[in-house]
Structures are given as structure tokens and as C-alpha cells.
Amino acid sequence: MPKSLGDRFRIAARAFASHEGPATRLAAAPGVWRTGAMHRDSVLFITLDSCRFDSFEAVVPAALSAIGPLVRAQAPSYFTFGSHCAMFAGFTPGDGARHEPFVNPKFGKIFRVLGGPAKSHGRDAFILEGESIVDGFNRQGYLTAGSGAAGWFDDRRESVRHLVRHFQHYLYAGNCWSLAKQLSFLEQTIAGATGPVFAFLNVGETHVPYWHEGAAWERDRNPCVPFATTNDAAESQRRQRACLAWVDAQLAPMIGAFSNASVLACGDHGDAWGEDGFWEHGVAHPKVLEVPLVYRLAPHVRARVESIS
Ligand SMILES: [Zn+2]
């Protein structure tokens, strides 16, 4: 874990060197999280990897729940890469039965990427042009920074690199239990920014083996392994809920910094805990597709959307 400012910058430098970023990079903006300090056009996008809807519903994590009402949503895919590719194209999780924007991305999108085949129904919040929402925010002059924890965010892997290549600042955490390192990286790169920021964070602690720094249980005893006979649904549930509560406390200062901006948090997919014989994710089971969604648009963004007839 990085201990000094110098370490933090070295991590950032390694991240810079490890992927093909955009041609133009903006300078880092060192700072610390201050409540309400982020520019009102900024966007914070958090994915709680593998977080089940019922975990969120049971824990009611304080900082995340304060973002907005909890929506029982369907993820756009059953695994990390597919889901994030879809979300970065504007297809965030949603409830298709509700005829209202943002809760139902078919009806109105939080992020619309122009130039694709998806049609607009006229109630989109952030209208972007480019290869992805990250590229789109870059083109609008945003400072973009992201950090992923799941293996599908490992930008050393050529096959998955295009998912994150547009971030001006990017850090792969290296594993699913390094949230402190990820938050330090984001704090160092964006917290002092005065202009609009697009910040993305993929949280790994809610992913198997459901472990966080300082947790009282063993990290190498994973209770949810596909096809294993030694799995434990109750232990999986207990651990993911405990991890979510711990993650929420860590995220609170960053979420607070975006209190005047727009914030979205969701699961990228859930996990099956033995339902119908399924374990973990990567399969199209209802428990894998069901995820929590909370969001809040900044008041001026919501007013702009509501002015569209
Ligand atoms: Zn995932």
C-alpha cells in the first residue's frame, strides 16, 4: 500500500505507461476530498463488482443510499467486461418495466453516446460523442480518471485494454482488495480539480472472495467457487454484506465531494449463491442479472432534462 505522495505518483506513472491513453492528457490536480467541492457538471460513476441487490437492500449502506432511491435493476450483462462495455456505451442497469428516464435506460439514458444505433426518446442527461462515455467526456473537456479492481480491468491484458484506454488517468488495482490504493489514486488525480471531472471506480471488495483490508476472516477461503462442492451460501451472504458496509464507509468522503454533482452507483452483475445449482457469475441466472442501482443527477442537469418536451 502506498505510504507517501511519491509512491502515489509512481503508481500513477506506472498506470500511465501501461496503456494506450488518449493523445492529449491533462495535468493531474492534486488535492483532498472536500464536501461539495467538485464542479457541478462532474460525474462520479461507481460499480460495486458482483454486488447483489439483496445485499444492498439488507445493508442499506449510508453513503451509497444517500445518493438516491434504491432501484431493483437488471444488469446489461452477467460478467464484468460485458456489463462495463454496455455501460460505457450508455446502457446502465435499469428496470425496463418503468416508463421513466434513467431508471429505465431504454426510455432515457443517463449517458447517451451519439453516433451509435440506439435511438433517443428525448430525455437523456449527458449527451456524448465518441467511442465510449469516457471518450465523450474527454471531448467535452472533462478531466477523466478511472480505477478498476476486477481482473477485466487489468490493462496489461491486450484483449480488454480498450475498455479503459480513454481514461486520462487510470489505475488497475491489481486485486479485489485494494480500495484504499484506488481511492488514493483518484484523490491524487481529481480531488483538486476546478473544472468538470468524470470519475469512475470499480470496487472489488464485493467480488469473490468477499474480503476487505483488515477483515476478520481468511481471504484464501472463498465460499463461492463455480462448480465447487464446498461452497457456503450463508457465508457468502455474510461476507458480501460486511464488505459492502466497509466499502461504504471508505467511499463516503469521495461521494461527499460530489454532492453538488451527478453520482451513479450500481452492481455490474450479481452472484448466484447456489440458486438452481449456480455459483458466482458469468452465467445468465436471474440472481446474476439482478443488481442495485442508485443515482442522483445534479439539479441543473435534471432541470435541463425536464425542460425537454
Ligand atoms: Zn464484475
**119-152: per-residue pLDDT in tens?**
777 789 999 999 999 999 999 999 999 999 999 9
Tell me if 24 is assigned to some domain: no
Query: For residue 268, how far is its CA from the centre of ligand 1 (angstroms)?
Result: 5
Q: How far apart are CA 187 and CA 11, in angstroms?
A: 13
Tell me if 299 is assigned to some domain: yes
Query: For residue 107, how far is its CA from the centre of ligand 1 (angstroms)?
Result: 25
- Residue 145: HSE in the Cβ half-sphere, 13 Å Cα cutoff: 27
Q: What are phi and psi of 263, to 5 degrees?
A: -135, 140
Query: For residue 164, how far is its CA from the centre of ligand 1 (angstroms)?
Result: 15
Interval 12-35 mean pLDDT: 54
Q: What are phi and psi of 80, to 5 degrees?
A: -55, -50
pLDDT 10s digits, 180-193? 999 999 999 999 89
Query: For residue 50, how far is its CA from the centre of ligand 1 (angstroms)?
Result: 5
Q: Which set of grid coordinates corresponds to residue 115?
A: 453516433
Query: For residue 224, how far is its CA from the centre of ligand 1 (angstroms)?
Result: 14
Q: Which set of grid coordinates corresponds to residue 134?
A: 469516457
Q: To 10 degrees, the CA torsion angle through 168, 130, 176, 210?
A: 150
Query: For residue 6, how far is its CA from the centre of ligand 1 (angstroms)?
Result: 31
Query: For residue 195, how far is its CA from the centre of ligand 1 (angstroms)?
Result: 30
pLDDT over 90 at 26, yes or no: no
Tell me if 25 is assigned to some domain: no
Query: For residue 306, how far is its CA from the centre of ligand 1 (angstroms)?
Result: 33
Query: For residue 220, how far is its CA from the centre of ligand 1 (angstroms)?
Result: 19
Q: How far apart are CA 211 and CA 239, in angstroms?
A: 7
- pLDDT in the model for residue 211: 97
pLDDT over 90 at 23, yes or no: no
Select the highest-mean-pLDDT range: 5-19, 53-67, 219-233, 295-309.
53-67
- Residue 105: HSE in the Cβ half-sphere, 13 Å Cα cutoff: 23
Contact 305, 125 (CB under 8 A): yes
Q: Which set of grid coordinates corresponds to residue 124?
A: 437523456
Query: For residue 194, how far is its CA from the centre of ligand 1 (angstroms)?
Result: 32
Query: For residue 255, how far is its CA from the centre of ligand 1 (angstroms)?
Result: 21
Tell me if 21 is assigned to some domain: no
Which DSSP category does 274 fall into?
S
DSSP letter for each residue of 144-193: EEEEE-SGGG-TTSGGGGGGTTT-SEEEE-SSSS-HHHHHHHHHHHHTT-
Query: For residue 309, how far is its CA from the centre of ligand 1 (angstroms)?
Result: 37
Tell me what percent of the residues of the chain surpass a pLDDT of 90.
81
CA distances from 69 to 60, 64, 140, 271 (A): 11, 10, 29, 22
Q: What is the mean pLDDT of the chain?
A: 90
Tell me if 4 is assigned to some domain: no
Total tally of structural domains belonging to the chain = 1
Q: Is 220 exposed, middle or buried (0-12, 13-18, 19+ CB in 10 A)?
A: exposed
Query: For residue 288, how far is its CA from the centre of ligand 1 (angstroms)?
Result: 10
Look-up of cell digits 461539495: 36
Tell me if 10 is assigned to some domain: no
* Number of C-beta neighbours around residue 4 at 10 A: 8
Q: Which residue type does 297 have?
A: L
Note down the domain range covering 201.
30-306
Tell me if 110 is assigned to some domain: yes
Query: For residue 119, how far is its CA from the centre of ligand 1 (angstroms)?
Result: 27
Tell me if 225 is assigned to some domain: yes
Interval 284-296 mean pLDDT: 97
All residues with CB under 5 Å from ion ligand 1? 49, 80, 150, 268
Q: How far apart are CA 93 and CA 106, in angstroms?
A: 10
Q: Which set of grid coordinates corresponds to residue 208?
A: 469473490
pLDDT over 60 at 4, yes or no: no
- Residue 8's pLDDT band, with cuts at 50, 70 and 90, is very low
DSSP letter for each residue of 189-222: HHTT-SS-EEEEEEE-TTSTT---TT-SS-TT--
Query: For residue 48, how far is its CA from the centre of ligand 1 (angstroms)?
Result: 8
Query: For residue 289, how far is its CA from the centre of ligand 1 (angstroms)?
Result: 11
The gap between the terminal CA atoms of the chain, to the nearest Å, is 51
Among 29-33, 56-60, 104-108, 176-180, name the one with the lowest average pLDDT. Answer: 29-33
- pLDDT in the model for residue 162: 86
Query: For residue 52, how far is its CA from the centre of ligand 1 (angstroms)?
Result: 11
CATH number for the domain harbouring residue 229? 3.40.720
